[in-house]
Amino acid sequence: MQHSVSIKDLSLNFGHVKVLQHLDLDIGQGEFIVLLGPSGCGKSTLLNCIAGLLDVSEGQIFIGGKNVTWEQPKDRGIGMVFQSYALYPQMSVERNLSFGLRVSGMKKDEIEKRVSRAAEILQIGPLLQRKPANLSGGQRQRVAIGRALVRDVDVFLFDEPLSNLDAKLRSDLRVEIKRLHQRLKNTMIYVTHDQIEALTLADRIAVMKGGVIQQLDTPHVIYNRPVNLYVAGFIGSPSMNFFEGSLSGGTEPVFTADDGTKIPARNYKFDTVPDSKPMAAVLGVRPEHIVIGDHAKTMTFQAEAEIEIVEPMGSDTLAWTNICGKSVTFRCDSDVLLEAGQKLPVGFDVERGSLFSAETTNRL
Amino acid sequence: MADLSHSRSASAGSAANGSRRLFHNLFVRNFSAKLAATPMIMTVLIVFIGCTAWTIFYSFTNSRSLPSGELVGFDQYTRLFSNRRWNASVLNIMTYGVTSLCFTMVVGFLLAVFMDQKIRFESAFRTVFLYPFALSFIVTGLVWQWIMNPAFGLQAAVQSWGFTSFTFDWLKNRNMVVYALVIAGLWQGTGFVMVLLLAGLRGIDEEIWKAARVDGIPTWKTYIFVVLPMMRGVIVTTLVIVGSGIVRLYDLVVAMTQGGPGISSEVPAKYVYNYMFGAGNLGQGLAASSVMLLTVFIILIPWMLIEFRPKSHS
Amino acid sequence: MEVPTDWNQYVADFPKLREAGVIPFALAQGWPTNGIFGVLLAGIGGTDLFLAVNRDKDVTAVEGPDFRKVAQAYADLRDAVDVNETVGQWNEATAQLINNTAAGNIMGDWAQGEFAVAGKVAGKDYDCLPGLGLNAVLDTGGDAFYFPKNDDPAITEAQLVLAKTMLSPETQVAFNLKKGSLPVRGDVDMSAANACMQKGLKILEDPNGVLPSGEQLLSSDTQQQLQDLEIEFFSDKSMSIDDFVGQFADIMSSAD
């Protein structure tokens, strides 16, 4: 199958600063890709390169099978939505949507058709004659999406489109973008630093750090089988609990925590089975994979732990405790009433956790 | 609103109540803020409004070196508008104003656009362009008086290189001398306009530019249809500054042409000065300055009506 | 060429001077240009016309044939002057004379100070025609010193000493020899004065030789209007004499 967007060995340098390094990325037709990472990781830069707003130093970009590496943004078949909306403030919504088309010399009735279709999809029909100053943040972002929509392109680029909105609007609009994607079935590339947006929207997430894609996979894999310590720590809130220690492989692999606790890792699905020589390793366990009470007794790791702090979140409850000499958080149902100072059995299965080499930080 | 309609329908008995409320609203409410604003309010009342009223009143008297209260109606104005020098001054300032305003704004904007292209040595260029603004009009006028002097300046230099037919005698040419002033004024003021407009350009969100590029709008169209309208505030400020510089044009003329040749580069401010102090005719000088003030109002009022009209949300 | 003995001869020589590559008349912009008109009025128009116009504000005198002659002379000079040769300040015009790039000029006696500094000798290197050689009169004026009144007797005494010193015959002689002008008192020995000053001193001996200056006769308001008119007329070759005379009469009708 032909890729909708294909990036081959892309590098971008600002002087001596390497912002993107030998990046490869293939995006399928109609796929929703989220570029996720902290600020400065190069995700927005990558998006600007795809849009043609930045000239690349090396490599090639294909959109719809066409090499567009040196094409103008308007000729790449993309539409883009910005964090600050970037609407033209002196023009009405209708003109904001149609300005680019008018400049390109498109026929009037075609413009009208596209504008009314976009207005219908985004439900901004009643706002068409208003100026951006008289719109709310959410309405403005809809108009900005509409401006990409009227271009009738295959690829939509979103650069942190929801970051300027408050939490309530953000989750509303998130759903709308997902709905839009399901209706239009366009390829969408979406940049964000918000992992909830990434996990909820993406078909595949590309987690980026230092100009390099760390892991590119479905949200489920990214969450459950992070390829390295960085991805494991970045995804998930509260973040994964880490235990430093050593791992001896062979037929009966055992993880030994720094305090001497031995945890059998027999059922753990190793990417590559390590040999029997002990090696420095890190065991990561998600808070929701730590269980308490009777249920803990069936786990490969069991211990008695004292609750230090309890944070009821409404839907569930977070608690802080101490296991193997490490402070850890775990998540349990909000119906379970916990108190600080309470002692109870806790446990987890190593196979639900992740093991990393302390040396390479890669998943074992 | 409810309050207002209530007091409207109230009988005379509550009129005292109303006036007490008026007093309260005027003086007691936000007292400390009003107290803090008092010096400025007094300045406006005394310096601006008071002096303007004084000026206008005495322009209707026959005051000579000292103000006199003897009213003579519109005599000073009649004399003013039958005075050839005054009429020439008005015509000159209009020519200078329109030409200078157009050129400073256009050239200043083009320079600002040029500076906004992420060029190298931007701060060096900015300093060079802004430097003339650090010089007074007197210095500017003297410098350009020498440059444009046909016997010593540009004309003499070019002729000495062999181009003997080259003439550049605007300073001595009654029809062109105003444009010589325009050139010196442009040299002095364009850098400042450039800096103001550059600040405005820099205030434009970079994502607007990106959006325009994705939309396929050519750079020049983005400047004209998107960026310029967004810079409205800066442009109005710049226009006011440039405009006030034009109205009070005086020192450049004194340094460069002394109003000559003849009266062909006279300007209103110089007329006011000459008749008020040189000729000791206060009434005539004040009449001339009142006309200048009136002209400024005639230009400003339509703009203010447009700018400050109550905004209706459709 | 001979040094002319009066204005008319001088003007008649203008074309010859041009041919010789010399600027016939050195002109500075501004007040020197109006000053010329006053000199022409006294020299060509004569004392009576000068006083009729400036002292009596006689509009009929302005509209009369004698005044017209003066205006014509002013216009002739205007037409003879090349605007590109005019300079900004009176001392630059004097410098043109000293450098021999210009032949003559109308200026007050203080111009002699410039000649003296340049080492030029009156009667030898240059000469003067008071009253344009037509009407031997001088229009005089001077600077005034005002001393503020004060309570300190020491300062008052110092003021008196300064005043005495300035007006003492020795100071007057020494100062005027340097400046090239005439002393404010007639009782000093000016035998050391140069040829030009001697001419002036001779005129001063005749009580009719001294004219009050326009500055004394007319209000500064009227002077300003006349100045504006004269400057305009002198710069605009298309302005007719009729127009000039008409405007002049207008101003004089309301002059004070």
Mean pLDDT of B251-257: 89
Residue type, C118: A
Indicate whether B1 pLDDT > 50.
no
Give the phi and the psi of residue A310 in degrees, each rounded to 5: -120, 130
Mean pLDDT of A57-70: 90
Give the phi and the psi of residue C151 in degrees, each rounded to 5: -90, -10
Tell whether the torsion through CA atoms of C157, C159, C161 and C163 is positive or negative. negative
Q: Which member of B150, B264, B275 has the closest CB to residue C84?
A: B150
Find chain C residues with C-beta within 8 A of B88's C-beta: 232
* B179 — pLDDT class (breaks 50, 70, 90): very high
Indicate whether B283 pLDDT > 70.
yes
Domain boundaries, given as residue ranges, for chain B: 2-58, 77-307
> Are A168 and A137 spatial neighbours (Cβ–Cβ below 8 Å)?
no
pLDDT value, residue B311: 56
Q: Two tokens at B153?
A: 């300046």
C143-154 residue pLDDT tens: 788 888 888 888
| 3-state secondary structure (DSSP) of residue A51 | helix
Indicate whether A223 pLDDT > 90.
yes
B172 touches chain C (CB under 8 A): yes
Find chain A residues with C-beta within 8 A of B219's C-beta: none
B150 touches chain C (CB under 8 A): yes
Mean pLDDT of A190-206: 92
Indicate whether C228 pLDDT > 50.
yes
Residues C183, C59 share a domain: no
Q: Name which of C22, C1, C35, C4 is nearest C132 in CA terms.
A: C4
Dmax of chain C from CA atoms? 66
C114-130 residue pLDDT tens: 887 888 877 778 888 87
pLDDT value, residue B97: 93
Q: Two tokens at B258?
A: 């002394």
Find chain C residues with C-beta within 8 A of B274's C-beta: 224
pLDDT value, residue A1: 55
Does residue C147 form part of some domain? no
pLDDT value, residue B310: 64
Give the phi and the psi of residue A127 in degrees, each rounded to 5: -95, 0
pLDDT value, residue A273: 74
Chains C and A in direct contact, meaning 3 or more beta-carbon pairs closer than 8 angstroms: no
* A98 — pLDDT class (breaks 50, 70, 90): very high
* CB contact set of A148 (below 8 Å; sequence gap of 6+): A79, A80, A81, A156, A157, B214
| 3-state secondary structure (DSSP) of residue A270 | coil
Residues C220, C129 share a domain: yes
Q: How many domains does chain C have?
A: 2
| 3-state secondary structure (DSSP) of residue A28 | coil
b/e map of B41-80 (b: 16 or more CB within 10 Å)? Answer: eeeeeeeeeeeeeebeebbbbbbbeeeeeeebeebbbebb
Does residue C49 form part of some domain? yes
A 107-146 residues inside an 8 A Cβ radius of B: 129-130, 134, 144
pLDDT value, residue A215: 93
Indicate whether B314 pLDDT > 50.
no
Third-level CATH fold of A241-357: OB fold (Dihydrolipoamide Acetyltransferase, E2P) (2.40.50)
> Are C68 and C246 spatial neighbours (Cβ–Cβ below 8 Å)?
no
Find chain A residues with C-beta within 8 A of B210's C-beta: 48, 51, 53, 73, 80, 82, 86
Contact B172 C228 (CB under 8 A): no
B71-87 residue pLDDT tens: 888 888 988 898 888 99
Q: Name which of B298, B311, B232, B236 is nearest B90 in CA terms.
A: B298
Mean pLDDT of B26-35: 82
Angle at C245 between CA C240 and CA C247, to 5 degrees: 95
Please name the residue of chain A whose CA is at the shortest distance from the CA of residue B226.
Answer: A88
Task: Report how far apart, in Å, the C-alpha atoms of B107 and of each of A162, B178, B203 are.
Answer: 40, 19, 20
Query: Of the given ranges (A33-37, A64-68, C106-110), which has the lowest mean pLDDT?
Result: C106-110
User: B230 to chain A nearest CA, in Å?
Assistant: 7
Q: Where in chain A is the domain with CATH 2.40.50.140?
A: 241-357
Which chains have 3 or more CB–CB distances shorter than 8 Å to chain B?
A, C
CB-count exposure of residue C210 (10 Å: 0-12, 13-18, 19+): middle
Q: Which residue has the higher pLDDT, B162 or A209?
A: A209
| Helix (H) or strand (E) run with residue A206 in it | strand A204-209
Contact B314 A74 (CB under 8 A): no
pLDDT value, residue B15: 58
Cα separation, A1 vs B162, in Å, equals 75
Please name the residue of chain C whose CA is at the shortest distance from the CA of residue B254.
Answer: C30
Mean pLDDT of B218-234: 90
Give the domain range for residue C196. Answer: 153-207
Does residue C1 form part of some domain? no
Tell whether the torsion through CA atoms of A146, A148, A154 and A159 is positive or negative. negative
Contact B280 C221 (CB under 8 A): yes
Share of residues in chain B with pLDDT > 90 (%)? 28
Q: Two tokens at A175?
A: 């759903």
Please name the residue of chain B whose CA is at the shortest distance from the CA of residue C30.
Answer: B258
Indicate whether C71 pLDDT > 60.
yes
Contact A53 B225 (CB under 8 A): no
Please name the residue of chain C whose CA is at the shortest distance from the CA of residue B146.
Answer: C88
The ipTM of this complex is 0.84
Cα separation, A265 vs B15, in Å, equals 91
* CB contact set of A122 (below 8 Å; sequence gap of 6+): A142, A143, A145, A146, A149, A180
Cα separation, A211 vs B216, in Å, equals 28
Task: Report how far apart, in Å, the C-alpha atoms of B302 and of each of A104, B95, B305, C230 are.
Answer: 37, 21, 5, 40
Indicate whether C17 pLDDT > 50.
yes
Which chains have 3 or more CB–CB distances shorter than 8 Å to chain A?
B
| 3-state secondary structure (DSSP) of residue C20 | coil
Q: Two tokens at C235?
A: 């710069």
> Given the DSSP bridges, would you call strands A262-264 and A254-257 parallel, antiparallel or unpaired?
antiparallel
Please name the residue of chain B whose CA is at the shortest distance from the CA of residue A91.
Answer: B226
Percent helix, strand and coil across chain C, each rounded to 5?
60, 5, 35
Indicate whether B6 pLDDT > 50.
no
Task: Report how far apart, in Å, the C-alpha atoms of B246 and of each of B134, B171, B272, C188 are.
Answer: 17, 19, 15, 55
Indicate whether B5 pLDDT > 50.
no
Please name the residue of chain A whose CA is at the shortest distance from the CA of residue B215.
Answer: A100
Q: Name which of A338, A340, A303 is nearest A317 in CA terms.
A: A338
C49-61 residue pLDDT tens: 888 888 888 888 8
Mean pLDDT of A41-69: 90
CATH number, domain B77-307 = 1.10.3720.10
Query: Of the given ranges (A87-101, B5-19, B241-255, C210-224), which has the lowest mean pLDDT?
Result: B5-19
User: C224 to chain B nearest CA, in Å?
Assistant: 6
Task: Report how far apart, in Å, the C-alpha atoms of A25 and of each of A6, A63, B17 are.
Answer: 6, 12, 77
Cα separation, A110 vs A101, in Å, equals 9
pLDDT value, residue B194: 92
> Given the DSSP bridges, would you call strands A5-14 and C210-212 parallel, antiparallel or unpaired?
unpaired
Which DSSP string corresponds to C35-79?
A: HHHHHHHHHTTHHHHHHHHHTT--HHHHHSHHHHHHHHHHHHHHH
Angle at B188 between CA B187 and CA B191, to 5 degrees: 85
Cα separation, A18 vs A2, in Å, equals 30
Query: Of the given ranges (A82-86, C136-140, C169-173), which has the lowest mean pLDDT?
Result: C136-140
pLDDT value, residue B4: 42
Indicate whether C173 pLDDT > 50.
yes
> Are B275 and C224 spatial neighbours (Cβ–Cβ below 8 Å)?
yes
Task: Report how far apart, in Å, the C-alpha atoms of A72 and of each of A159, B114, B218, C191 are.
Answer: 18, 22, 11, 94
CATH class (in words) of the domain with range A5-228: alpha beta
pLDDT value, residue A65: 87
Please name the residue of chain B whose CA is at the shortest distance from the CA of residue A82.
Answer: B207
> Are A238 and A221 spatial neighbours (Cβ–Cβ below 8 Å)?
no
pLDDT value, residue A97: 92
User: A112 to chain B nearest CA, in Å?
Assistant: 17
Q: Which residue has the tokens 């090239």?
A: C180
Contact B145 C88 (CB under 8 A): yes
B237 touches chain C (CB under 8 A): no
Give the phi and the psi of residue A75 in degrees, each rounded to 5: -95, 10
Find chain B residues with C-beta within 8 A of A89's C-beta: 229-230
User: B279 to chain C nearest CA, in Å?
Assistant: 4
| 3-state secondary structure (DSSP) of residue B157 | helix
Does residue C169 form part of some domain? yes
Cα separation, C204 vs B81, in Å, equals 44
Contact B260 C85 (CB under 8 A): no
Contact A100 B215 (CB under 8 A): yes
Does residue C57 form part of some domain? yes
| 3-state secondary structure (DSSP) of residue B7 | helix
| Helix (H) or strand (E) run with residue B129 in it | helix B122-130
Which chains have 3 or more CB–CB distances shorter than 8 Å to chain C?
B
